[in-house]
Chains A and B, each alone.
Chain A
Amino acid sequence: MALELIYTSTRTVPNVSGLLTTDVAVYLPNWDAVLTRLAISSYGNLFKVFRDGTAVCIGNKMNTLVHGSLVGGGGVALIPVPGGYDAYELDPIAGQPDFARKLNGAVLDGNFILQGILFDPAQGLLYNRGAAGRTVERRRLSDGEVVSSFPIETDTQVTYHAYQYAGVGRGVAVSYDSPGRVVFFDFNAGEIILASELGLGARIIAYDHLHRLVIAVLPDGHVKVFTSEALPATLSPPELIPATAGKLKGNALTTRLTGSRGEPIGDAWVKWRLAGDKGSLEKPYTRTDANGYAVNYYYGPETDLGLGQETVMVEVVV
């Protein structure tokens, strides 16, 4: 498991089983809760789901309506019209389409409309799932034409099912299939920021950009909450630079902390210690940078009595 699980609800969301694989799950910041549809048996019923598993029915959605999310926070409803879809912001109270807030110009082509499109009205763009759910296509909101695209996955076995807002300049793509791949990307630069996974499959996954949490509703109804920082998986052996140490001379020591998919883990404390008593370390703890590197310095022994071999040991502080 790469993203860190921090909470599993004791309450369970009712009637989660039987969901379609692609469905709505949008975090709405003014609710601090997730808008979603639950079971096929209650087709069309919309629910407000809280992080602790409390679920409240708030009405029904229009038949054939699909949902997306909005840059800056909020939800979008795509309503079928002749020739495609029109997109409207969701009303922040009722979670229904607000017909006064239309986002698109020309009718959006129904051939590319799927659940989980991220809308960016300030830039006049939308980011939708292209090429089997492994790329991000930037399209113009005015006419739906593709402006550019960038890949977010090379594994052809993986499909991402929904793109959501993940903070300033960021989107997140989630896959409902186990192990629940999650990719954070910069939608302006077209770069992947973090690729990780939940370690489980869930058909309702929403990203809480206010608290930077992934909220997943499992088929058994439990809600799991993950931080959006990857959990440390591997700490590389310390590397001495230059490789030969000298007396009282500080040699840089580096180690790199990564997650299960090789993603760098920043802002983590690394504990350093020597196995023996030859020489000393500058600091007992250092913090990893954005690329996952932690740096320390090793000083050789003061006298020739200390010459020989020394082992540097590193541990991650959790």
Chain B
Amino acid sequence: MALELIKTVAPCITYAPYTGGTSTLFPAYLYNTWLITPPRQYQESLQPARHFFYELSGDHLVLLSTENYIFWPGWRVVRYVWNAEDGSLVSDLSGAQTGAPYWISWNRSTETGGFGKVYACGNSYTYIQEVDWRTLAPVPGGFKTCDWSGHPIFLNAVINRTHRLLAGATSWELEVWDYQTPAKLGTLRLPYLLSDLAYENDDLLWAVHQNGLLSKIDYRQRRFETLTRIKAPDPEDLNYLAAFDSKRKRLVIFRHKPDAADGACRCQLEFYRPHPRPVLLTDPVPIAPLRIGKEAQFISQVIGDGGEAVTSQMITSSLVDPAQGRMLSTSASTGQDGAAGLRYQAPEAPATDTLQVTVTVPDE
């Protein structure tokens, strides 16, 4: 299954321009003066974030991060909250957070999980705990896995409370644990360094990797469902974070792009529908020798961004005029491997024909 990019909000964050003010506490000092070194002109710049999730109760997408700041103490914690429907910023919930600095450093990453709650992995402890989505502070009396579970400190983790499962990732592996026993149930080798996880439901999660690869994983069965790629990953991108909007069944990627030359934010939200999306049709290749007067079969494949097969696509074929042979099958549907066979009847004398194949893809 490829992904269909249905909407991009770019930029999804607007920095405040520096207007010449000074800090009220330390008016003589400005910090990070590179922020306003021409042509830059903004008083802030986001640092690579790790806390991005879908918040079910408010139907929001939430990002908490630190940022470089022009005033004392040179950094601060910001929270951005977007309407999950259209990606518009919810301004009254967004902005600098004075109550979050401690918890954002205490927790390494935050994901939505079972029962619609939000859970955080610690920077220096192995347990996963339920946190307040506004501040990342632990919820008093909230869910928490065992302190002495035996598993490593995960970079990211999702919690399935129905089946008491914890799927936690190190850089290259995803470990699935029964968090109650606790016992490791299995390990999946990831195709590339992990960037973020997103909980879809009690069976599935998404993993976005640092090179833009995107894995859909059945963590209960410990197997891959799909390996694809976000649209046009750029080596200059700083980070990719993932959240799954369980209300609309779509994946949202927060793409952290470097600031523009003038310092403006270029981060964007990308909304993907997990829907088959063909990206490339391979050239038709014969699978048997071409012989005078004989039938030959050609195979073309329809693939997605990650080279994954796209099934049930109709490939049509035709011979470019003047044709000397003929097509015995003018269309065929792709199978599980994304391939479709097209039958050609060669003429009774030596000839050259040009086979043309097409697949129709609806506009994004």
**Pair A94/B224 contact, Cβ less than 8 Å:** yes
**Pair A29/B290 contact, Cβ less than 8 Å:** no
- Quick one: closest A residue to B298, CB to CB? A7
Whether a CB of chain A sits under 8 angstroms from the CB of B186 is yes
Which among A10, A60, A91 is the interface contact of B223 at CB below 8 angstroms? A91
Which among A7, A10, A29, A95 is the interface contact of B191 at CB below 8 angstroms? A95
Distance to closest chain A CB from B315 (angstroms): 13
**Pair B283/A93 contact, Cβ less than 8 Å:** no
- Quick one: closest A residue to B213, CB to CB? A59
Of the listed stretches B7-15, B57-65, B303-311, name the one at the interface; the rest are far from the partner chain. Answer: B303-311
Measured CA separation A50–B304 after assembly (Å): 13
**Pair B306/A56 contact, Cβ less than 8 Å:** yes
Known contacts A32-B299, A93-B226, A99-B188; A54/B280 CB under 8 A: yes
Interface residues of A in 32-85 (CB under 8 A from B): 32-33, 46, 48, 50-54, 56-60, 62
Distance to closest chain A CB from B280 (angstroms): 6
Known contacts A6-B286, A32-B337, A51-B285; A62/B189 CB under 8 A: yes
Chain A residues with CB under 8 A of B285:
7, 9, 51-52, 225
Distance to closest chain B CB from A166 (angstroms): 15
Whether a CB of chain B sits under 8 angstroms from the CB of A100 is yes
Measured CA separation A279–B96 after assembly (Å): 104
Whether a CB of chain B sits under 8 angstroms from the CB of A164 is no
Whether a CB of chain B sits under 8 angstroms from the CB of A213 is yes
Chain A residues with CB under 8 A of B284:
52
Chain B residues with CB under 8 A of A60:
191-192
Chain B residues with CB under 8 A of A50:
282, 301, 303, 307
Interface residues on A, range: 35 or more
**Pair B186/A100 contact, Cβ less than 8 Å:** yes
Distance to closest chain A CB from B284 (angstroms): 8
Cβ contacts B302-336/A at 8 Å (1 or 0 each): 01001111000000000000000000000000001
Whether a CB of chain B sits under 8 angstroms from the CB of A186 is no
Cβ contacts A4-30/B at 8 Å (1 or 0 each): 101101110000000000000000011
Whether a CB of chain B sits under 8 angstroms from the CB of A292 is no
**Pair B188/A93 contact, Cβ less than 8 Å:** no
Measured CA separation A260–B306 after assembly (Å): 41
Chain B residues with CB under 8 A of A11:
283
**Pair B337/A211 contact, Cβ less than 8 Å:** no
Whether a CB of chain B sits under 8 angstroms from the CB of A133 is no
**Pair B225/A99 contact, Cβ less than 8 Å:** no
**Pair B288/A100 contact, Cβ less than 8 Å:** no
Known contacts A6-B288, A99-B187; A54/B337 CB under 8 A: no
**Pair B289/A4 contact, Cβ less than 8 Å:** yes
Selected A-B contacts with CB under 8 Å, 19 pairs? A4-B289, A11-B283, A31-B307, A50-B282, A51-B282, A51-B299, A52-B282, A52-B284, A56-B306, A58-B227, A91-B188, A91-B223, A93-B224, A94-B190, A94-B215, A94-B227, A96-B188, A97-B189, A225-B286
A-binding residues in B (CB < 8 A): 172, 186-192, 209, 211, 213, 215, 222-227, 280, 282-291, 299, 301, 303, 306-309, 336-339
